[in-house]
Amino acid sequence: MSRRALVLATLVASCAPAPSASGPTAPVASREPASCRDVAPAVTTSSSPPVVASSPPPVVASSPTPAAEAPPATQPAWSSAPAGATSLVFREVMLGALPAKARRTTWTLIRAGSAVLLRVEDQSARGMRHLDRTSLPPEIWSTPERTEYRGTASAAAGRTTLTLQRSFGAGDPAALVLRCAPRTIEVHPALVTLVEGWKHDDDTMEPATWAPTRSERVPVLSCKEDGPPRSFDDGLSFVAGRGATTRDPASVGVEWAFVNSDMVIQQGGYRWIPAFSHAAR
């Protein structure tokens, strides 16, 4: 035998699998050197096809069903106004450069004879630093929180007493008595701006000014609560709305607007409420 044939025979013999005493077994992954695969075909010990473990089908996580969103809280409906009723509106606005939110409350007094409804709407907003037309659009204020009072009006000695009981809402108090009498107040235009003053070197302040400076005397029904007032001490000044003029938009009533920016300005005044600022939400 030649030297080449002898080397080949030796390699084939070393790559052959060892016989098993228990019979043929399932094939296992080959660990033979590459030289064995090059010189001899793979040897199988069974004619049966290799058993391949089946993989379970992939588990696909189902997407959770989104929870139904809670419907927005619905505002309670106002009671219907009596036939032939008159409507007077007053609003109070508190704003300024303080951490607290700006707040405004609107009172609508509806009266027909001795029957009275009082609708109260409380709102808040952030970023209301100045008293100008930027504080008027209704969309910058929160959805009003409604409280309604129902009661009667009685007159004596030129004064009117409104005796009211809360019919719905969370506003306080539950019972309300208003003492009302006519008076006249100074009212600025609806789109007026209160221009802030500044501090001088001697720490005195230049007073704030109204722009435009014009104002007018307006007769109102001035009402104050029995007991400690929950609004400013001047009470509630109810007045009917009026149509637009060449200089001013249509108005629904008047408001007392007060700016509290601590050491910069603490001042307020009356201005007309433009109809677009009183839009329902």
Has residue 45 been placed in a domain? no
Between β-strands 145-156 and 115-125, what pairing exists: parallel, antiparallel or unpaired? Answer: antiparallel
Quickly count: other Cβ atoms within 10 Å of residue 126's Cβ. 11
Has residue 13 been placed in a domain? no
Say how far apart CA 113 and CA 4 lie, in whole Å. 130
Say how far apart CA 193 and CA 117 lie, in whole Å. 33
Has residue 201 been placed in a domain? yes
The angle formed by the CA atoms of residues 225, 230 and 236, to the nearest 5 degrees, is 55
**Quick check: 95 and 134 in contact, CB under 8 A?**
no
pLDDT of amino acid 232: 56
**Quick check: 273 and 251 in contact, CB under 8 A?**
yes
Say how far apart CA 18 and CA 154 lie, in whole Å. 118
**Quick check: 62 and 85 in contact, CB under 8 A?**
no
| Side chain identity at residue 35, one-letter code | S
pLDDT of amino acid 200: 77
Say how far apart CA 30 and CA 107 lie, in whole Å. 91
pLDDT of amino acid 234: 80
- Smallest CA-to-CA distance from 278 within 88, 143, 122, 138 is with 138
169 phi and psi, to 5 degrees?
105, 170
Q: What is the pLDDT of residues 199-217, one digit of tens each?
A: 777 877 788 899 999 999 9
pLDDT of amino acid 53: 53
Length of the chain: 281
Has residue 63 been placed in a domain? no
pLDDT of amino acid 10: 47
- Smallest CA-to-CA distance from 37 within 11, 62, 1, 68 is with 11
Count of structural domains within the chain: 1
pLDDT of amino acid 127: 79
Say how far apart CA 30 and CA 238 lie, in whole Å. 99
pLDDT of amino acid 170: 86
Has residue 208 been placed in a domain? yes
Whole domain around residue 113: which residue ranges? Answer: 86-278
Q: Does the pTM exceed 0.85?
A: no
pLDDT of amino acid 75: 77
Has residue 73 been placed in a domain? no
User: Which residues of the chain are under the pLDDT cut of 70?
Assistant: 1-73, 228-233, 263-264, 279-281
Has residue 93 been placed in a domain? yes
pLDDT of amino acid 220: 97
What is the C-alpha radius of gyration for the chain, rounded to an integer number of angstroms?
Answer: 43
Has residue 23 been placed in a domain? no
